[in-house]
Amino acid sequence: MQFFSDDKDFSDDTGAIHNVLKDIKINFGLMTKSDNDAAANPLLTLSDYELSQIKAAYNKTMTKPEERTFNEQEYFLYGTNEPLSVTLTHILNQKAGIGWTSYAHTGLPVPVFAMGKGESLFEGFYDNTKVFNILKALTYVK
């Protein structure tokens, strides 16, 4: 079971949530209230509730997939995806003020429209991967 990068494997370290939290900070910027950088980054500091959700998802993720069972609430929260990944995504979405309506989508082109700089690039139906490339070009991300 691997998370975040190919060289990290926490599957034999089930009690080491603190190690996972270090990687979460490095890779996602999220940190606990006790982190030395928390005061300078209040928007990225995890609430007690968010931290409890990460810990619960981590414990579920650490269960071998073939032994993992989801109750109705957990299925609603995670779908059929990795609990820790989904929970981190939900927290980041909330903090960024964005949201998604499903865990999956079809491969059909989606309608995209915009206002502001580059709006002419968003008129019509696009493959969802093209939206990323347009945003990347508009924001000068390399």
The full set of domain ranges for the chain reads 17-96, 105-142
Q: How many CB atoms lie within 10 A of CB 57?
A: 22
Both tokens of 63, joined, read 């269960």
Q: Is the pTM for the entire model greater than 0.85?
A: no
Q: Are 10 and 1 in contact (CB under 8 A)?
A: yes
The neighbour count for residue 35, using CB atoms within 10 Å, is: 17
The Cα–Cα gap between 43 and 136 comes to 24
Strands (E), 18-137: 110-112, 124-126
Q: Are 112 and 122 in contact (CB under 8 A)?
A: yes
Give the Cβ contact number of residue 127 at 10 Å.
12
pLDDT, tens digit only, all 142 positions of the chain: 344 444 444 455 555 888 899 999 999 999 999 999 999 999 999 999 999 999 999 988 888 888 888 889 888 888 878 899 889 988 998 998 877 666 666 667 778 888 888 889 888 888 877 888 888 989 988 8
